Amino acid sequence: MRVLAAMSGGVDSSVAAALMVEEGHDVIGATLKLWEGPDGAPPAQGCCTLSDSEDARRVAARIGVAYYVLDATKEFRSGIVDPFIADYLQGRTPNPCIECNRVIKFDHLLRWARDLDCDLVVTGHYARVIRDDGGFRLLRGIDRNKDQSYVLSMLGQEQLRMLRFPVGSRRKEEVREIAAGLGLRTADKPDSQDICFVGDDYRAFLRREVPAAARPGSVVDEDGSVVGRHDGVVDFTIGQRKGLGVAFGEPRYVQEIRPASATVVIGRRGAARFTGLRMAHPSWVAGHPPAPGPTHVQIRAHGEPLPAILEDDARTVWFSDPQDGVASGQTAVLYEGLQALGGGTITETLRE
């Protein structure tokens, strides 16, 4: 079987490619170039650095596979980066990784795989694809602490048909042991933690891209009283506690962001809990919407699934218990046990 292995330069994708070689497949390694620095130079941090592509190239040489770099920088800029900036300017908290998987990364990888007559695409994601009579099911990875089914939940059945995640049935420690045993240079490489094109400071990124993002405004309490000032609403997300620029006897949290007036509303924990949410344009990786009724919804990449009720419209979800920090722009993903069913972008937070 001919396999296209996506290689980011990290340990997980390195081992995924190596496992395919060990199984006897004809493997082609590829790095998807998504981002570049000023004047087309490789960025100093985040994804697509020189060190990442060099690590991927050397791993490919070590395991004996051909290696290519595939350029998607223009599509990534227009499809992911520009909407990310626009969302923050509108007071939303976007999840660019999910959108990238949906419209950029896997779309390009699968297209190139077909052009190269590949049967499968493999990546280093911690998730599993299981085939049954009803199609394909996306399941959580065995290592719950590393599970990435949430960020893959907007894919479709046709995409799942050609995808495999070889490390999804292993724990992280085992993956590193395999890499070390094969002499891969990425065996001890730290995991990436940040949004790939932003680095470790999204505020600085936004200010570089849009200087007008630094528009000062007021910080107000639940009663509308001004309690402080800020340097731009892009510095805040719903549920944020640190960096508010004000001091009280007990913690305060961001409850609402009003970009039109450059106002940030803060309050005590629980003062603005949400009882539900509404999603836009839900996508069902399971192949069909789930039946209305009891379900579980995950509203953060590393959050726990929350008991909830799905309405008949397959867009409205009510929490069994009110929740803090539900942010427009984030993604709500429904689960049935270990299976990710799909979901959509949160466009409205609800209170009964």
User: Is residue 118 flagged as an active site residue?
Assistant: no
Gyration radius of the chain over CA positions: 21
Could you tell me if 13 and 124 are in contact, meaning their C-beta atoms sit under 8 angstroms apart?
yes
CA 315 → CA 46, 194, 272, 275, distances in Å? 34, 29, 22, 14
d(CA 234, CA 246) in angstroms, rounded, equals: 17
Q: What is the 3-state secondary structure (H, E, C) of 161-178?
A: HCEECHHHHCCHHHHHHH
Element at 6 (helix H, strand E): strand 2-6
User: Is residue 196 flagged as an active site residue?
Assistant: yes
Token pair for 120: 């499968």
d(CA 213, CA 94) in angstroms, rounded, equals: 16
Find the catalytic residue in 47, 48, 100, 118: 100
Catalytic residues: 100, 196
